[in-house]
Chain A
Amino acid sequence: QQQVKQSPQSLIVQKGGISIINCAYENTAFDYFPWYQQFPGKGPALLIAIRPDVSEKKEGRFTISFNKSAKQFSLHIMDSQPGDSATYFCAASSDYKLSFGAGTTVTVRA
């Protein structure tokens, strides 16, 4: 039973376009929501994270939008670049454990 549902499974975007990845959760005990970026054969790296008392957080070209009432959050990648081609995972934390979404593979076409 996956506690965090992530969509889409994959997406293709043109260079300069916007990539949007959505996640939903049910457990209201979650209190920290990070996003990870993973390149093939490498470990995931923290990209950006948000707490539920904030509705939006922006770091460079990456923005998290958070809707606490709907229990949904999303990652927007603005001005997508070929170097952004990777798999992105959303996650949700309670206590000492992270629950991960299934991942979204993003391909940016030059």
Chain B
Amino acid sequence: DGGITQSPKYLFRKEGQNVTLSCEQNLNHDAMYWYRQDPGQGLRLIYYSQIVNDFQKGDIAEGYSVSREKKESFPLTVTSAQKNPTAFYLCATQSDGGRKTQYFGPGTRLLVL
């Protein structure tokens, strides 16, 4: 079964707590992305990685961190510095070559207790 998996589907964070969202892919795509989705604001880029052991900040990286130790995995940590973390988080991969198509996972909804 190919594609992108995100876990958990729902995640609850307490004040001052760091939480990590998982993203795994078996599409063999080099590039991976994390987006945040809030109602009425579309998708905003948090971090992206074009290759293993390398990643770049997107438009709203403050309060988040990532790692890319394996091609298949791109976990996102929401740190306690992110004061408004409640949102729908989407992981995506981009196909190689000229098509530039991004494929999205099913998402993780993060809620603050």
Contact = CB atoms under 8 A, between A and B. Distances in A.
Nearest to A1: B59
Interface string B15-43: 00000000000000001000000001111
B43 A89 contact: yes
B100 A32 contact: yes
Interface residues of A, number: 23
Say whether chain B's binding surface is mostly helix, strand, loop, or mixed. strand
A46 B44 CA distance: 17
Given A43-B90, A96-B31, A96-B50, A102 B105 contact: no
On chain B, which size bracket covers the interface?
20 to 34
A93 B100 contact: yes
Contacts of B58: 97
Interface string B73-105: 000000000000000001010100001111111
Interface of B: 4, 31, 40-45, 48, 50, 58, 90, 92, 94, 99-107, 109
